[in-house]
Structure 1
Amino acid sequence: MRSFSLRQICSIAFLFSLLLSSPRFLIAAEGSHNQLTPDQISEGWIQLFDGETLFGWKSTGHNNWHVENGVITADTGPIGALHTSMEFADYEFFCEFQMDKDANSAVFVHSLFNPQDPVKECYEVNLCDNHPKFKTGGIVGLAPPDKFIPGEGGWKSMSLVVKGPLIKVSIDDQEVLKFADKSPTARKSGLLGLQKNAGKVSFRNIRLRPLLSASLLKGNDLTGWHLVPGRKSKFSIKEGELHVENGRGYLESDNQYGDFILQSEIFSNGKHLNSGIFFRAIAGTEQNPADGYEAQVRNQWDGDDRSKPVDFGTGGIYRRIPTRKVVSSDFEWFTMTVAARGPQ
């Protein structure tokens, strides 16, 4: 008997979303670059940079953002930015950065694409040691850092906590600013952005963890879920894990969700099994059991080339867009994130 198991299913039904339709979760040892550790995965962190490409990012086109030796970097051209392709609201953010002497860079929070006014159209967390007022760790036009820690001099880390009107900034694990925007025009969501203003700047280990998550698996039963009639599958909760076996079938959530991020850990207990997570779906019936978008789960590819998925592949949107690479395998736990915001 072949089956699927799922655990740690979480959803956030608020105004935020993720950039990936085919996320790559790499399990690594502590200290590895652009890879999540097992602990970080279980804590809900999402890697925003795969270490190889600018997938999930969009440049304003003004400078030479590119990937070089596992880092995102820019060193020529006028002022410009690299933005995530989707918006976020409440979250924790982490990155490592390196900048030349006298360089000027920033991380944009809750940003419009290519903001022209850093006070009204984003929060510009500055990376500029020689700025006359808003040095590294400050928010340009709004709040200088309470404590100055230089950003120059090798690789440094930046951590942000963004929750409602509050933004906390830490450099190298030391809090340098706690700012709350109490204005009536405070921004509540937007794109993340990496800015290159002057000099060379590089980024790596870019990750984000949504706040306000809630588990969709409660206790030892299927509370919060119901079966779509007329199917063969048997669903059960065993030791905190959702098991499905015995043929085709569908399990639906009782609640409906708007914009969300959903994270799950999945184990395919058979070779090339076919499963999926439906979302934006119409309530299932015996005649039409599943009518919506399907985040495919199928760990199969053509020959030895994982970039050629079979049947859209794990992480693809079935019948719409294949995954760019099948990074998960059967007979081992893997993490998949599904995100939806409006039409994205």
Structure 2
Amino acid sequence: MMNRIFSRSSYAFTIATCLCASMIISGCSSSATTESTDNEAETKTGSVAAIDELPPESPEASFEPPVFEANAEKLLASRLPIEQTRAGWIRLFDGHTLFGWVIGGNANFRVEDETIVADQGENCLLTTSTQWSDYELELQFQCDEETNSGVFVRTTLDPQDVTTDCYEVNIAPPSNPFPTGGVVQRTKGETFDTDPEKWHTMNILCDGSTLRVTIDGTVTCELDDATRPTTGYIGLQHRDGRVAFKDIQLRPLGLKNLLADGLEGWTVREGMEGECRIDDDGHLVVDGGKQQLETEAVFGDFVMLADYKMDDPKSNSGLFFRAIPGDEMMGYECQVSNELIDGNPLQPADCGAGGIFRRQDARVVAGEPKRWNSILLVAEGNHFATWVNGLQVTDIVDTRKADENPRRGLRLEPGSIIVQGHDKTTQATYRQIAVAEKVAAEGGE
């Protein structure tokens, strides 16, 4: 299946990801889709400028758009343990492709030995295609002694002023006014000496007005007034010298389990044969046929984490969002299905766990029967992204004309969340459906 991630700026790369079954072969396999045009990721435009100061002179060079090839075995090996995903942890980088990332300029960002590397080109960012508000970010980095790089959090696509548009956690030598571990133009912090022969672990906590940076277990700085901006992308900077990043993980904060009080706050639709009940373990069980369980509250932009278990490989459920309140499953559907075609994880039988039904199939079926699985969904404006067991499986922009009904067009208005019982084969158990509403991005990005 060919997946093109977003590209942007006056010099923007188009990234192709070639996913091949069980072993790497020439060419690409494409998974069955309901609407083929909906499975092509859309394009965003914008620019990433020099951030904290004028960029250094860069050699006149251009770099070929990187193409990535990864089989199902490699992708599935990058999933996280359920103990981590149950707490919300996901991988932003799968170790093999830049799916879910955007190269914002003329620099040679690439994947080598399961790391993201850049060492040539202009001052620019590689950013996530998804925006985040409150979260814990952890990654490993390695840099040369004179490297000038950074990790940008809550950043806009084209940050012009680091005091308003982003927070730049610097990676720079001790001679820099803001050495490694400091936040550029905000606080120098405690100087951290990097070793070019070692990997260092950076942890960044963004929680409301608190921003804390920890490197190798040592807190290098902490802000208590991180109120502008409050949401944005995550960016990895190439500026000068070689820098490498790996094991990039994130955990959203503020999730509240909508099942904490059983079915309080939910409505079971009358006249349907299926059943929704809370079992002795406090888990939601959906079985017996077609049914929908709907929230009384409505949600617009949000992060949702759901843990599900289905023993039958053919069992089918779904999580509808921005649904028309009180209507019958009229919303976007995040698919809950582990079924494969011919045993091939790259061939979902019915959109695949985490796929957005009739919009984009999951690039790989990362859920499995007879075990607990986690789905993390981000809905922000017309952009949706999902992770299953920590691995990103969809990344889509809905460019259709606006319509009240998401089955017909783009719906931005808040709507209910619906848990679906699809048919008599459905027997799905959910132990959490947790939601955190997202903060609107400054400037409308």
Structure 2 length normalisation: TM-score? Answer: 0.66
Larger displacement relative to structure 2 (60-69 or 169-178) = 60-69
| Alpha-carbon distance in structure 2 between the residues aligned to 1:209 and 1:67 | 23
Amino acid at match of 2:130: M
- 1:269 is paired with a residue whose SS is coil
Note if contact 1:302-1:308 (Cα within 8 Å) is conserved in structure 2: yes
| Alpha-carbon distance in structure 2 between the residues aligned to 1:81 and 1:68 | 18
Instruction: Please give the per-residue CA displacement for 1:129-158, whole angstroms capped at 9, x wherever unaligned.
Output: 244310000011121013434364410010
Note if contact 2:82-2:374 (Cα within 8 Å) is conserved in structure 1: no
Report the Cα offset of residue 274 of structure 1. Answer: 1.4
Aligned to 1:81: 125
Does residue 232 of structure 1 match 2:276?
Answer: no
Amino acid at match of 2:324: I
Aligned to 2:251: 209
Does residue 332 of structure 1 match 2:332?
Answer: no
Q: How does 1:97-116 map to 2 (within 5 A)?
A: 97-116=141-160
- 2:291 is paired with a residue whose SS is coil
* Structure 1 segments unaligned to the other structure (5+ residues): 1-25, 27-32
Note if contact 2:105-2:122 (Cα within 8 Å) is conserved in structure 1: no
Q: How does 1:146-185 map to 2 (within 5 A)?
A: 146-150=190-194, 152-181=196-225
| Alpha-carbon distance in structure 1 between the residues aligned to 2:286 and 2:80 | 28
Aligned to 1:189: 231
Aligned to 2:359: 320
Does residue 280 of structure 1 match 2:322?
Answer: yes
Report the Cα offset of residue 180 of structure 1. Answer: 3.0
Instruction: Please give the per-residue CA displacement for 1:41-83, whole angstroms capped at 9, x wherever unaligned.
Output: 2222122111111111101032111111111111111111111
Larger displacement relative to structure 2 (96-105 or 296-305) = 296-305
Report the Cα offset of residue 34 of structure 1. Answer: 5.4
* Structure 2 segments unaligned to the other structure (5+ residues): 1-71, 384-445
Instruction: Please give the per-residue CA displacement for 1:200-233, whole angstroms capped at 9, x wherever unaligned.
Output: 11111111111122111124x3111111222111
**Percent identity of paired positions between Structure 1 and Structure 2:** 37
Note if contact 2:82-2:373 (Cα within 8 Å) is conserved in structure 1: no
Does residue 297 of structure 1 match 2:297?
Answer: no
Note if contact 1:102-1:130 (Cα within 8 Å) is conserved in structure 2: no
Does residue 310 of structure 1 match 2:354?
Answer: no
Aligned to 1:118: 162
Note if contact 1:136-1:151 (Cα within 8 Å) is conserved in structure 2: no
Structure 1 pair 131–192 and aligned structure 2 pair: CA distance change class (3 A): farther
Aligned to 2:408: none
| Alpha-carbon distance in structure 2 between the residues aligned to 1:38 and 1:295 | 19
Amino acid at match of 1:226: T
Does residue 264 of structure 1 match 2:306?
Answer: yes
Amino acid at match of 1:64: N
Structure 1 pair 254–154 and aligned structure 2 pair: CA distance change class (3 A): same
Does residue 53 of structure 1 match 2:97?
Answer: yes
Report the Cα offset of residue 35 of structure 1. Answer: 4.8
* Runs of 4+ residues deviating >4 angstroms: none
Amino acid at match of 1:323: A
Q: CA RMSD in A?
A: 1.9
Report the Cα offset of residue 101 of structure 1. Answer: 2.3
- 2:332 is paired with a residue whose SS is strand
Structure 1 pair 147–103 and aligned structure 2 pair: CA distance change class (3 A): closer
Report the Cα offset of residue 308 of structure 1. Answer: 1.8
| Alpha-carbon distance in structure 1 between the residues aligned to 2:175 and 2:331 | 51
Aligned to 1:67: 111
Aligned to 2:185: 141
Note if contact 1:277-1:295 (Cα within 8 Å) is conserved in structure 2: yes
Amino acid at match of 1:60: G
Amino acid at match of 2:289: G
Structure 1 length normalisation: TM-score? Answer: 0.84
Aligned to 2:55: none
Instruction: Please give the per-residue CA displacement for 1:291-331, whole angstroms capped at 9, x wherever unaligned.
Output: 00000111122223211212211111111111111111222
Amino acid at match of 1:331: K
Amino acid at match of 2:246: R
| Alpha-carbon distance in structure 1 between the residues aligned to 2:214 and 2:169 | 11
- 2:190 is paired with a residue whose SS is coil
